[in-house]
Amino acid sequence: MSHTPAESAESPEAAAVSFRSEVTVELVKHSAADSDVLWAARVSTAGEQSLEELQKDPERSKGLINFLMRDRHGSPFEHNSMTFFISAPIFVFREFMRHRVGWSYNEESGRYRQLEPVFYVPGEARKLVQQGRPGKYEFVEGTPAQQELTGRVMEDSYRQAYAAYEEMLAAGVAREVARAVLPVGLYSSMYATCNARSLMHFLGLRTQHEQAKVPSFPQREIEMVGEQMEAHWAKLMPLTYGAFNANGRIAP
């Protein structure tokens, strides 16, 4: 079942509505390297001589990075910055913004612009059925009938909601009022800026990984965002990333 932009819409209003099943993450700006961890850590014992770490190959000191991660000396991992541009459903951002320490956010506003009719519908690989008791549950594949139902009901609901939104805007109702009819499956976009320590904390909670000492049970859609941010970070700070995994993916 495909949920690409609908080509068989019955009205001009519906034709404008499109559906996606993926999220996108772009690294737009960064100042992040493994050497940032080293000079920040060595100032405690070397003072101004710690500036020499800026010119040294951090590979020589990967043992120090591992020590800091293992013994949870966290502050040296904060002296860096990464800014991501993220496109995802609103319900993902509402979970995302539970992460407050070490994060900065700016999201597009439904008060100041008309929101685009792009909505989330799960792809065929998205597991639909939750089974088990709270705290000990798992998601399993949905049946073809459940997949068809989910896609059809979501798409119909989105079309109706956006038509109501446009009707109110056309009648002169303020954007900040009209947006109340739109569902959390609507796509939004935001800039999110963090440091490696705050990102590690996010990844520890919002991704599942075979090397994690503490299990996590994230919603799949926010995990998709986390996986893309992790891939960007791993290229910027490979020694720090390796130490994070080697020590159970627990933020220092």
Side chain identity at 216, as an amino acid letter?
S
Active site residue 206: yes
Identify the bridge partners of residue 139 per DSSP, sorted by sequence position.
130
Report CA-CA distances (Å) from 196 to 34, 54, 81, 193: 10, 18, 7, 10
Token duo for residue 34 = 């493994």
Q: Which residue among 20, 179, 206, 249 is the active-site one?
A: 206
Rounded-to-integer distance, Cα 89 and Cα 23, Å: 8
31 touches 52 (CB < 8 A): no
19 touches 120 (CB < 8 A): yes
Token duo for residue 44 = 């405690």
Q: What is the dihedral of CA 66, 73, 78, 65, to 10 degrees?
A: -20
Which residues have CB under 8 Å from 6's CB, separation 6+?
A: 14, 15, 17, 18, 19, 155
- Tell me the three state secondary structure of residue 221: helix
Other C-beta atoms lying within 10 Å of the C-beta of residue 12: 7
| Total H helices, total E strands in the chain | 9, 8
Residues involved in catalysis: 206
